[in-house]
Amino acid sequence: MKNVFVALAILTCQSLSGLAIAEEDYESARWNPLHFKPAINSATNEDCLACHQEIINRTVKSQSPAGVKAADSLAWYQTLSLYEGEQDTFHRRHLVTPLAKEFMNLQCNTCHQGHDPREEAPNPPTATDAGFTLRKTVNPETTCLKCHGKMNYQMMGLPAPWEKSKNMFQTCMACHVAIRTVRHQVNYLNADNIETAAQKNPDVCYGCHGGRAWYRVAYPYPRHAWPGASPQTPDWAKHRPTESEPRFRLNEKTAAK
């Protein structure tokens, strides 16, 4: 009799096994070493998507619970020529939209660099930057700001912000066909596609260099030497790196990240 109960219990457990395993696995999945350094450095998108497919599959609701239609509530930047298609999620806009695929090759670990979940915030709290990126493990200063910072028009010698000085120069290429021509040699950008597209639509460059500026500051880009550059380094550039961060360099995919 006892054995029958055990057998029944096992059967019941098995029918609930989805739940039981999900619950047991949740913690080990959450603490999966792929989330943290050093494993995250070499994780592929497929590794992450094995558990996080929802990041790609999830789309925005076509209508809010109160009945506001997504298609009718566009932000100003969503009305520009560079914005295509219906409203979409943050991750899809960076990973799967046609524009994202044409210009970018972002990986999960381009943005998610891992952290120690036990060390999420400095203790005791401090007002100075203690080097913590908090829960979501994405540091905007070394990711977002590169493509969503302000255009540093003063440094470029432009008389006014691009919206005003655009008429004078027409396209960024007026200068950038010869200035800072060694650009975008990083594993998360498709450099050739960017240059080709910019020949047809000059707004392409502005799209990542001021056109979608969610920040009030400009990113201090590395300053690669380019053919024809003056050997003198201007004062503003004295403390700039002369190469992209190692983990993004094209020829150093295997270098320490």
Determine, following the binding rule CB under 6 A, whether residue 247 of this chain makes contact with ligand HEC: no
Stretch that binds ligand HEC, among 10-18, 62-70, 125-133, 207-215 (CB under 6 A): 207-215
Stretch that binds ligand HEC, among 2-10, 16-24, 62-70, 148-156 (CB under 6 A): 148-156
**Binding string, residues 53-92; x marks residues near ligand HEC by CB under 6 A:** --x----------------------x----x---xx-xx-
Determine, following the binding rule CB under 6 A, whether residue 213 of this chain makes contact with ligand HEC: no
Residue with smaller CB distance to ligand HEC, 130 or 207 = 207
SS3 for the chain is CHHHHHHHHHHHHHHCHHHHHHHHHHHHHHCCHHHCCCHHHHCCHHHHHHHHCHHHHCCCCCECCCCCEHHHCCCHHHHCCCCCCCCCCHHHHHHCCHHHHHHECCCHHHHECCCCCCCCCCCCCCCCCCCCCCCCCECHHHCHHHHHCCCCCCCCCCCCCHHHHHHHHCCCHHHHCCCCCCCCCECCECHHHHHHHHHHCCHHHHHHCCCCCCCCCCCCCCCCCCCCCCCCCCHHHCCCCCCCCHHHEHHHCCCCC
With contacts defined by CB under 6 A, how many residues of the chain interact with ligand HEC? 83
Shortest Å, Cβ 127 to ligand HEC: 22
Dihedral sign computed on CA atoms, order 124, 127, 133, 134: positive
Tell which one of 8, 26, 37, 64 touches ligand HEC (CB under 6 A). Answer: 26
Tell which one of 108, 133, 213, 247 touches ligand HEC (CB under 6 A). Answer: 108
Q: How far apart are CA 242 and CA 246, in angstroms?
A: 11
Tell which one of 80, 141, 222, 257 touches ligand HEC (CB under 6 A). Answer: 222
**Two structure tokens written together for 100:** 């994202």
Shortest Å, Cβ 123 to ligand HEC: 17
Shortest Å, Cβ 233 to ligand HEC: 8
13: Cβ–Cβ under 8 A, 6 or more apart, which residues? 20
Residue with smaller CB distance to ligand HEC, 9 or 50 = 50
Residue with smaller CB distance to ligand HEC, 8 or 38 = 38
Determine, following the binding rule CB under 6 A, whether residue 37 of this chain makes contact with ligand HEC: no
Contacts to ligand HEC from residues 154-193, by CB under 6 A? 155-158, 162, 169, 172, 174-176, 179-180, 182-184, 186, 188-189
Stretch that binds ligand HEC, among 7-15, 65-73, 107-115, 123-131 (CB under 6 A): 107-115
Shortest Å, Cβ 12 to ligand HEC: 25
Q: What is the DSSP letter of 25?
A: H
Q: Quick one: how many helices (H) and strands (E) in the chain?
A: 12, 0
Determine, following the binding rule CB under 6 A, whether residue 257 of this chain makes contact with ligand HEC: no
